[in-house]
Structure 1
Amino acid sequence: MSSNVSLLRETSRQVVAGASAGLVEICLMHPLDVVKTRLQVQRSVMDPQSYKSVRDCFRTVFRTEGFLGFYKGIVPPILAETPKRAVKFSTFEQYKKLLEYMSLSPGLTFAVAGFGSGLTEAIVVNPFEVVKVGLQVNRNMFTEDPTLEILRKFGIGFVSGTMGSVFNIPFDVAKSRIQGPQPVPGEIKYRSCLKTILTVYREEGILALYKGLLPKVMRLGPGGAVMLLVYEHVHSWLQEKW
């Protein structure tokens, strides 16, 4: 009975810590997501109303819409991403505990646990998150000093995030085009994912499918490290207090 209570308590700690990590990451990094989406939905930089660069987009949004303009649309990701982060971290920890009985090497244990946690939330999470989770949640593999540990986490988040972004950003561009305003009012031009990608490629070229890559990479690198640091601190605090 006591073991079941302990398991429930530890799982609750992991869920709360994971949700807290996701919430903090979203609040800190959402401006980059806004900039990424603004760049993706515009069709041409020749339009006087278009953003010329990431820096120009930041400056224009702040000047015309104020600071809160960077937090438009933040409620849906908070409602969607926060529970996903909770599932991601908590299931990773549970899979890792189960795999400890199989006497696998630490690297293989983390990889399999990360893969398992990724499959658990595969319906709503990018497959590249599997790799990132397996690397980022590992707290025991290295014993460097705190400064090197933070730099390592930022490096892992940046490299894995960049790899995933380069592969999947055409689909992200398609999503933004489908969800955003259509070019001609009353006419739905962008319908399905693959058709949208082909249309953008034919009309605007291959580079148009990589709009918003820079702010996306800028978010995923530091964002991954922020999530991991918040998760570890909240989890440690809960272990002490609860």
Structure 2
Amino acid sequence: MTDAKPLPFVYQFAAGAVAGISEILVMYPLDVVKTRMQLQVSGGSGPQYNGVVDCLKQIVAKDGFSRLYKGISSPVVMEAPKRATKFACNDEFQKIYKREFGVEKLTQGLSILSGASAGCCEAFVVVPFELVKIRLQDASSTYAGPIDVVRKIIQKEGVLAMYNGLESTLWRHGVWNAGYFGIIFQVRSLLPEAKTKSKQTANDLLAGTIGGTIGSLMSTPFDVVKSRVQNTAVVAGQARKYNWSWPSLFTIYNEEGFRALYKGFVPKVLRLGPGGGILLVVFTGVMDFFRSVHYKD
């Protein structure tokens, strides 16, 4: 993330895992709301939500409070490799690009490039977990749990269907990470240098929150498409309404209007704005701890 003393990949991976699990345990209900709103087709037969609060009320009233954590086992299992891959790959790409471009200090351009590259790597890790989560979070879901989702998808759609939505996930994660890490670099450069640990934490929380917010603004249309693609079963010989990102974007725009491309944006930004701050603070804190252990005399 910065030009601080480098650490081996294993430390970066572990710090990213801790950060990711911390964030998901706090913010998961908003992810359920985001998915429900993204799967809602205007004028469709399914539940219709008027906003975040209305969605929360309907879910709790119909299915109980526990439904807000339905499917959390999949993202909890996913968060360790997902966030670990994000931060570890971002740090590694920063080193690679600084070396390849012949610069000693990180620039905002290289931060954006490193973030986008890390996001693409992250996408390959998360697709099966995201697929399971989306199927479980759907209001019409009849699956018994994550294992049941995997078993039925493989039986009915084939093994390769577990990577349904890979292309849209690459777009989502590449764009989000480019915005997230690029904005973090810019905000950090504008903030006064932190003289104390508490001030550094405050700076990281602010930078991460702004980065998460901008990343969400940039990536939400691809997130909407990804949710639609992954919630559409693969049926042999049958064309899928939502398949590739850009055609799906135009389909949603033509049928439901521009606002439909930002369905779920409010819960997404409420989660990934503060969630981005939590990620950065925890990751930086754990990395500082690892440095104190690794470089101790």
TM range (shorter): 0.7 to 0.9
Map of 2:176 onto structure 1: 128
Q: Percent identity?
A: 34
* TM superposition shift of 1:177: 1.9
SS in 2 for 1:73: coil
Residue 235 of structure 1 aligns with an amino acid whose one-letter code is M
Say whether 1:90 aligns with 2:141: no
- The 1-side partners of 2:210 and 2:50 are apart by 26
Q: 1:154 maps to what in 2?
A: 205
| Structure 1 position 218, deviation (Å) | 0.9
Task: Tell me the distance in 1 between the aligned counterparts of 2:58 and 2:51.
Answer: 10
Of 22, 38, 41, 2:39 maps to: 41
Distance 2:247 2:112 in 1: 32
Match of 1:189 in 2: 241
For 2:25 and 2:185, locate their aligned partners in 1 and report how far apart those are by CA, in whole Å. Answer: 20
Query: How far did 1:76 drift?
Result: 3.5
Residue of structure 1 in register with 2:27 after alignment: 29
Measure, in 2, the Cα distance between the counterparts of 1:202 and 1:134: 32
For 2:127, the equivalent position in structure 1 comes to none
User: What is the deviation of 1:215?
Assistant: 0.9
- Could you say which residue in structure 1 is the equivalent of 2:229? 178
Q: 1:146 to 1:241 in 2, by over 3 A?
A: closer
Letter in 1 for 2:15: A
Q: Which amino acid aligns with 2:180?
A: K
Q: TM-score normalised to the size of structure 2?
A: 0.63
Higher relative contact order (CA 8 A, sep 6+): 1
- Report the 3-state secondary structure (helix = DSSP H, G, I; strand = E; otherwise coil) of the residue aligned with 2:210: helix
Determine the structure 2 residue equivalent to 1:215: 267
Match of 2:73 in 1: 75
1:122 alignment partner, SS class: helix
**How far apart, in 1, do the equivalents of 2:185 and 2:13 lie?**
14
Gaps of 5+ in 2: 1-5, 124-172
- Runs of at least 4 residues of structure 1 off by over 6 A? 45-48
Judge conservation of contact 2:253–2:261 (CA < 8 Å) in 1.
Answer: yes
Shift of 1:154: 3.4
Tell me, yes or no, if the aligned pair for 1:132 and 1:156 is still in contact at 8 Å. Answer: no
Whether the 8 Å CA contact 1:17–1:234 is kept in 2: the answer is yes
> How far apart are the structure 1 equivalents of 2:288 and 2:81?
20
Separation (CA, whole Å) in 1 of partners of 2:253 and 2:112: 34
CA contact under 8 A between 2:205 and 2:277: conserved in structure 1? yes
Q: Deviations over 1:195-222 (max 9, x none)?
A: 3322222222111111111111111111
Whether 1:231 and 2:272 are equivalent positions in the alignment is: no
Any gaps of 5 or more consecutive residues in structure 1? 1-6
Q: Which residue of 1 aligns with 2:216?
A: 165
Say whether 1:54 aligns with 2:52.
yes
